[in-house]
Structure formats: structure tokens, C-alpha cells
Homo-oligomer: A and B are copies of this chain.
Amino acid sequence: MPALLESLVVTEVPGPISKVACKKLDQFFDSRAVHFVVDYDKSCGNYIVDVDGNRYLDVYSQIASIAVGYNNPALREAAQSPDVISALVNRPALGNFPSSRWHDTLKDGLLKVAPEGLNMIFTAQSGSEANELAYKAAFMLYRRKERGEGAGWTPEEVTSCVDNAKPGSPDLAILSFANSFHGRGFGSLSTTRSKAVHKLDIPSFHWPQAPFPALKYPLEKYTFENAAEEQRCLNEVERLITSWRFPVAGLVVEPIQSEGGDNHASPTFFQGLRGITKKHGVAMIVDEVQTGFGATGKFWGHAHWNLDSPPDMVTFSKKAQTAGYFFGDRMLVPDKAYRQFNTWIGDPARVAMSKAVINEILDKNLVEQCARVGKALYAELETLARKYPDLVMNLRGKGQGTYLAFDTKDAGALSKAMRLLGVNIGTCGKETVRLRPMLIFDESFIPALITALDKVLAST
């Protein structure tokens, strides 16, 4: 699907109609973060169209959540399939009364892209929920091992847990990294470390955070320093695991820290994490909510690491259009039914939509395409970085598909200026511009993006 359309901005952004619509909505629904109100009927492929008739090349993609384009015909077909209609109309309590269709919906969809070695799944509705369910599985596994197989629950455990007290409610931790983002529930937020705006005033668990490697760019120039920095962080991870005031049952890490600023680390670092977690019996949870589903040029971000043994759990959401976690060890299924449970356990309508997304990705070889397009896009950005060394800094994501980012002086202003030129682009971290094009962003869209960036940078 090459770039037949073009960006077209005919009003200020947001335009007058967007502003009125926003004000109306704000009467009962907080609209302060709205960039513009969208006419999804007119949006198509890589282009998002607002109610003022402005058309933007969308390289933000609903905070990295659209894989195969607006109004993708295969998705429209799936939305009208008997599977989806039935799941919408007859929403099941999946754990008690699953549909006869559920097995195949999973098998022909999410299970087809299960990370290597992880052939079981628990479904959820958001990235936050997926991570929290993974944390719960890690805690139950930790205590199961500690308790010893076959050992029952003590009366004291049963009574105390209802009172939120030990030993039933144990002090156990999930370790996460500085600048990470893992969601906004009370457990997931306790592992999120990126920004005060997410965390302030919300009670948190006293869980440890390790430093995440602060790599220097270009990588070729700082090989030695970066290796030392990664080793320093690994040492700190191990120190925290062995010395935290209570046991660390799990470790959660993003393949690329996204909301926190598109921070990368090398496969060696992640191999080190796998080694340390195995050594100390800590469940390794890879949060692929943003990196999963192809945008790094591989289906899963952690596939870049060449691990000897897979992570214990991999969580997903966003581009999947649904959420959950994959796992391989049956011991992660708790000892009794109803421990990992809730009324809906995800949404089979969304899981069926996910199947359509997956099949579209596989049929059209979009992951391979993304790897290829990423190389070309990176080369163009490198040219801009040479042209504007003070405005395009620390270019990163080489070899990681279109999952590219750079630091600049005022990322918010750049994003705003880009919108006026018809490109919807996102930011993250402190002053980082992150590219999150869809997987259908092919080479034909590169010139429009680069031209707009060049213009904005030239006028900065």
C-alpha cells in the first residue's frame, strides 16, 4: 500500500471543529490530553484525518498501537465475522464458560506468534493488567517453590492473607529498572519509574529499581564504555536481588525502554539478566507491550537477544489489540484453580481481532518489511543527524526495524511543528522524539516524513 494520499493541513492544529468537539466532550470526560478529534471513517492506512479535514501521516499510531493501518480491509472483514459478533453479543466468563470457538481463536491467532519456548497463554485486557497478572504468577510460583511441592496452605496463611498480613500476604518484590514504564495499576505502577506525573500521590510497594544502562552514541565509538556501563548495571541488579530487604520474586524489563525515552541495551546485557535471574530463581518477565508485534524488525523484541533459554513470561498489548502473557513452564499455572482468574479474562472479541492483525502481518511479511524499511529510514535520519548535530542527537535503534528515536532540544515543539506539516509524531522520555510508524509504513512514506523533519529542524 504505497503512499497514494498525501498529508494536508488546512487549519491550525487542533482546528476549530476539534476545539469545539473537545470542549463539548470535556463536560463529562477529561479532554485535556486530546491532540485532535479524529474522523476515523476518513482515516486510511498510514493516514489519520481529523474532524477539521486535516490529514496526517501517522508515525505515532495511537501510542504505538496500530499495526496494519486505519480501516484495514482484513480487519474490517474480521470485525464483521461471526466470531467477533458472537463474542461481542455473548460476552463469556472465559474461565467458566468458554465458547467452542475459543480454542481455535487462540491457536490460529496469538499462539501462532507465541515467543519461542512459551506455548501457554493467559489473556488480559491491557498492558498494565498483563504485567500485574505476570507478577502474580511470579509471586505464586516463588511461594510454591518455597513451600515445597505438595505442601498445602497453612491455616495461618489462609487467615492472615485476608487481613493483608504475613505470612499469607508476604513481602515479596518485583525488580524493575530506572526509567521503565510497565503500566498504571498499583502493582504495575510500583514498577514504573519513568515520570512523576504517573506516580505522584499513589501508594507504592517498596520494590527495588536497578539502573538501566545509559549507553553513549554512536555505539561504535563507545564500545568499551558501554560494555562497562552494562556490567555496572548487571552488578547492581545482582546486588539488589541478593540484598533487598525481602525476596525478589520477579524482574521485569522492556527490550527497549519506550515511554522512558527509547533507551536501548545490548543482547549481552539481556543475556546477563537471564543468567542472573536463573541463578537466583527470579522469574524474568519481558514486557513487550510496546516492542512486541514486529516494529523492531523481529516479531518480538527479545528475539534479538539470542537467549540460551527463553524468558519466563512475555507480556503483550498495544499492537496486539488485546493483551496477556505467554509462558512455558506449567508450574506458572498456580496449584489451584481460581487463583489466577477474573470474570472476563480478556475479551474474545479483541482476541479475534488480534488474530486478524496477526494473519495480516504474516501474510504480507510485514515484519520483514519493517526490518528493511527501518534500515532505509535509519540511513535518512543519520543524514539529518549529520546536518543538524545539535538537534538530532543520540540517534538510536539501528537494526531494530522502525523503532527509531533521537534526542532533540524541545521535543514537544518539534512534535507540534510536525503536526502543522501533516505528520503526527510522538515523544517520550525528557526530550526524545520516538518513531512508531505502523508495520505498513513502507519506503514510499520515508520522503514525506524526512522532508517534514528537515523543514522543522531547519526552522528551529
**A residues at B contact (CB < 8 Å):** 21, 24-25, 27-41, 43, 48, 51, 62-63, 65-66, 70-72, 75-76, 79-80, 82, 84-86, 88-93, 95-103, 106-107, 111, 119-123, 125-129, 132, 135-136, 139-140, 142-144, 153, 157-159, 161-165, 168-173, 178, 183-188, 190, 193-207, 209, 317-318, 321, 333, 336-344, 347, 349-350, 353
Contacts of A143 in B (CB 8 A): 200-201
Q: Are B30 and A333 in contact (CB under 8 A)?
A: yes
Taking CB atoms, residues of chain B closer than 8 Å to A337 are: 30, 32-33
- Which B residues are CB-close (under 8 A) to A51? 100
Q: Quick check: B36 and A157 within 8 Å, CB to CB?
A: no
Whether the pair A126, B129 counts as a contact (CB closer than 8 A) is yes
Can you name 16 A-B pairs with beta carbons within 8 Å?
A25-B102, A28-B120, A31-B98, A39-B99, A40-B86, A62-B91, A70-B89, A71-B89, A125-B125, A136-B184, A139-B203, A157-B196, A168-B196, A170-B201, A186-B188, A198-B339
Interface of A: prevailing SS: loop
The 10 nearest A-B residue pairs measured at CB: A186-B187, A32-B337, A164-B204, A143-B201, A169-B204, A125-B125, A79-B88, A158-B196, A186-B186, A161-B199
Question: What residues of chain B lie closer than 8 Å to A88, measured between beta carbons?
Answer: 75, 79, 84, 349, 353
Bound together, the chains give a CA A90 to CA B79 distance in angstroms of: 11
**Chain B CB within 10 A, most for which of A25, A88, A207:** A88
The residues of B that contact A169 with a CB separation of less than 8 Å are 199, 202-204
Is the pair B95, A140 in contact by a Cβ cutoff of 8 Å?
no
Cβ A29 vs Cβ B121 within 8 A: yes
A162 and B196: CB pair below 8 A?
yes
Is B75's CB under 8 angstroms from A33's CB?
A: no
- What's the nearest-Cβ distance from chain B to residue A314, in Å? 14
B79 touches A89 (CB 8 A): yes
A99-B24 in contact (CB<8A): no
Are A120 and B199 touching (Cβ within 8 A)? no
Q: Give the distance in Å from the alpha carbon of A134 to the alpha carbon of B353 in the complex.
A: 29
Assess the B170–A203 pair: CB atoms within 8 A: yes
CB distance from A380 to the nearest CB of B (A): 26
**Interface pair A96/B341, CB less than 8 Å apart:** no
Looking at the assembled complex, report how far the CB atom of A332 sits from the nearest CB atom of chain B, in whole angstroms.
10
Determine whether the beta carbon of B350 is less than 8 Å from that of A200. Answer: no
Q: Are A98 and B129 in contact (CB under 8 A)?
A: no
Q: How far does the alpha carbon of A126 sit from the alpha carbon of B187 in the complex, in Å?
A: 16
Query: Roughly how many angstroms separate A201 CA and B250 CA in the complex, as a whole number?
Result: 13
Beta-carbon contact of A98 and B38 below 8 Å: yes
Q: What residues of B have a CB within 8 angstroms of the CB of A178 in the complex?
A: 162
Contacts of A24 in B (CB 8 A): 103
**CA gap between A52 and B289 in the complex, in Å:** 38
| A86:B41 contact, CB within 8 angstroms | yes
- The answer to whether B89 and A206 touch across the interface, beta carbons within 8 angstroms, is no
- Contact, CB under 8 Å: B96 / A197: no
Q: Contact at B196–A161, with CB atoms within 8 Å?
A: yes
Contacts of A353 in B (CB 8 A): 88-89
Nearest B residue (CB) for A164: B204
A89-B76 CB under 8 A given contacts A96-B34, A185-B185, A196-B158: yes
- Chain B residues near A27 (CB, 8 Å)? 120
Query: Would B185 and A90 count as touching, CB distance under 8 A?
Result: no
Minimum distance in angstroms from A250 CB to a CB of chain B: 11
Let me know if A38 and B342 touch, CB within 8 A: no
In the bound complex, do residue B86 and residue A203 qualify as a contact, i.e. CB atoms below 8 Å apart?
no
Residue from the set A24, A70, A90, A342 with the largest chain B CB neighbour count within 10 Å: A90
Contact of A91 (CB < 8 Å), options: B31, B321, B336: B321
Residue of B nearest to A140 (CB): B201
- Within 8 Å by CB of A34, from B98, B101, B187, lies B98
Q: Which residue of B lies closest to A133 (CB)?
A: B184
Which of B91, B128, B157 is close to A200, meaning CB atoms less than 8 Å apart?
A: B157
Closest to A90 in B: B40
Instruction: Report which residue of A86, A120, A123 has the largest number of chain B beta carbons within 10 angstroms of its beta carbon.
Output: A86
Given A79-B88, A128-B129; 18 other pairs, CB 8 A cutoff: A25-B102, A32-B337, A36-B97, A37-B97, A37-B98, A37-B102, A62-B96, A72-B89, A79-B84, A80-B85, A125-B126, A125-B347, A139-B202, A153-B196, A161-B196, A162-B195, A186-B188, A203-B205
Determine the distance from Cα of A129 to Cα of B25 in the docked complex, in whole angstroms. Answer: 22
